[in-house]
Structure 1
């Protein structure tokens, strides 16, 4: 490790850590555009940035680059931090620092540079939401996810739509909370399902029709079949010279 880094580490180790109350006061000043408060917040958390950068030392990237990326993540965290949400700044800053470092490693690990967001964005969005909520007790906003992953807000929205993360249901899940209840798949209509009852009803009707037709002459049966479109592999070759009144008389019997 270079002497410049050793000197930097020593200087940073002497900075005073902030209390929760001091973080809130500085954050309020930063919201009002106080550049001095912003610098104090950054300098007071440089040790955090260094500690995270050191965890990725074996990634193959230069340590100075890792620290630079950590500091970039720290500065973003200072800009985005909302003290009203109730968690400590260090907890929030860890997210931005880690994401900044990981994106740097991902981009520089390959010979051919591939933007980090091109690989499994939906998976990354889901992972970010799960881990963020686990650590901070809240879901990240779309702008936060966008910043953390380095992608546009529209890409985040599209990913959320595709995975349906918050509203996804399993069709094998049980309706309600009762054990032994019916699953969702059991109550979804199957358009390809065969209606056995309907088939049996049609067969009964056809038997009744055949029984009635059998009582007629062959000519009368043919006329009624043609008139009402009754097909039972019935073939005909003759045309009948009959009127509607003739057919009505046959139907009346």
Structure 2
């Protein structure tokens, strides 16, 4: 086969989409199968991924890094099969338009209202009216199921970000599914934002809670998490100022604690996980490698896990949906890369300045005395990153 007979990146993506037009995504392994390095060159797969993304098509990484698989390991092979089956099931359901999402949301809400009538006014309803309400209730459940099925493809990419944290990949998918279900139940189509943006927030929250509650055997008090967040923020500030690692004495002075207290907090966190613990098959990387670059002030460094995560969630729930999503996207609170004001504006169809105003309003709400005393470490970081 010569070079002219091999598909370009654009043609390859189009052919894959034609073969799975209702699926809405392509697998990385499918692109790799079409790649001939000697002819296409090293960047062909990346070009194909870019092409797919530009066309609004998601590329799901289903190769070794996504799905834990070891040759000869029966349980890993089973996990791989289950994940592939999950992806296949997700691909059988067509993507929804914004109009579809609104229609399904209305039907689901109508079903909930019908359930309330049947429960609270059963003795006041005629037999015909009861039958009609039961029909609306069943239709609402079908709408909810359709909404979930059409968005299952959102779960795997988010679950992948939490892999290697004590839960099997299938367990992570199950946790993500719970978040997706919650998103469908809470979605308000009248707000005007995309369901996918809203759903990803709930999926990430469910994954975080699942990892925190099921993956950890040692519990750390919330106030220790808060102190640890302050220590990490202080270390980052000092490292940026000095160009090197600060001493314990410098960190203690920066946060107003004694050196002994700084050591106690660090020791408590060290019991959870050693940053020097090897990861990967070759053991040539450590947990410390996963920490954000010192030049970037990442709110993830405030340790959004365990009891502290519950407090933060409670505070964020005091915001309206749009404000909450803006903070999550802007500061990477869900574990993803922080987005710019322009990128968030594109999600909502708003200007950069309007997003900035809404961000500042949300932060002001979090600073309310009823919430700020539990979130001082987080707010310090967000204020500097804003």
> When the two structures are superposed, what TM-score results if normalisation uses the length of structure 2?
0.34
Q: What does the per-residue CA deviation read over 1:74-119, in whole Å, with 9 as the maximum and x for residues that have no partner?
A: 0000000001111011100111100000111112332235695523
Compared with structure 1, are the counterparts of its residues 50 and 158 closer, same or farther at alpha carbon in structure 2 (3 Å cutoff)?
Answer: farther
Distance 1:77 1:120 in 2: 18
Distance 2:306 2:166 in 1: 21
Report the counterpart of residue 206 of structure 2 in structure 1.
100
Structure 2 residues without counterparts, runs of 5 or longer: 1-78, 112-139, 222-304, 330-347, 349-354, 360-367, 380-386
Higher relative contact order (CA 8 A, sep 6+): 2
Report the counterpart of residue 55 of structure 1 in structure 2.
161
Report the counterpart of residue 22 of structure 1 in structure 2.
100
Residues 102-121 of structure 1 correspond to what in structure 2 (within 5 A)?
102-112=208-218, 118-119=307-308
Q: CA deviation at 1:20?
A: 0.7
Distance 2:206 2:369 in 1: 22
Structure 1 residues without counterparts, runs of 5 or longer: 140-156, 169-253
Report the counterpart of residue 10 of structure 1 in structure 2.
88
Matched, 1:71 2:177: yes
> When the two structures are superposed, what TM-score results if normalisation uses the length of structure 1?
0.50
- Conserved 8 A contact 2:198-2:325: no
- Conserved 8 A contact 1:125-1:159: no
Report the counterpart of residue 132 of structure 1 in structure 2.
325
Distance 1:76 1:103 in 2: 13
Report the counterpart of residue 133 of structure 2 in structure 1.
none
Matched, 1:31 2:242: no
- Conserved 8 A contact 2:179-2:203: yes
Instruction: Give the root-mean-square deviation of aligned CA atoms.
Output: 3.4
Q: What does the per-residue CA deviation read over 1:228-253, in whole Å, with 9 as the maximum and x for residues that have no partner?
A: xxxxxxxxxxxxxxxxxxxxxxxxxx
Distance 2:375 2:167 in 1: 36
Compared with structure 1, are the counterparts of its residues 57 and 17 closer, same or farther at alpha carbon in structure 2 (3 Å cutoff)?
Answer: same
- Conserved 8 A contact 1:77-1:92: yes
Q: CA deviation at 1:49?
A: 1.4
Q: What does the per-residue CA deviation read over 1:34-92, in whole Å, with 9 as the maximum and x for residues that have no partner?
A: 11111100000000012211222232310111000000000000000001111011100
- Conserved 8 A contact 2:219-2:306: no
Which of residues 189, 192, 196 is equivalent to 1:86?
A: 192
Report the counterpart of residue 373 of structure 2 in structure 1.
162
Compared with structure 1, are the counterparts of its residues 118 and 60 closer, same or farther at alpha carbon in structure 2 (3 Å cutoff)?
Answer: closer
- Conserved 8 A contact 1:122-1:162: no
Compared with structure 1, are the counterparts of its residues 163 and 8 closer, same or farther at alpha carbon in structure 2 (3 Å cutoff)?
Answer: closer
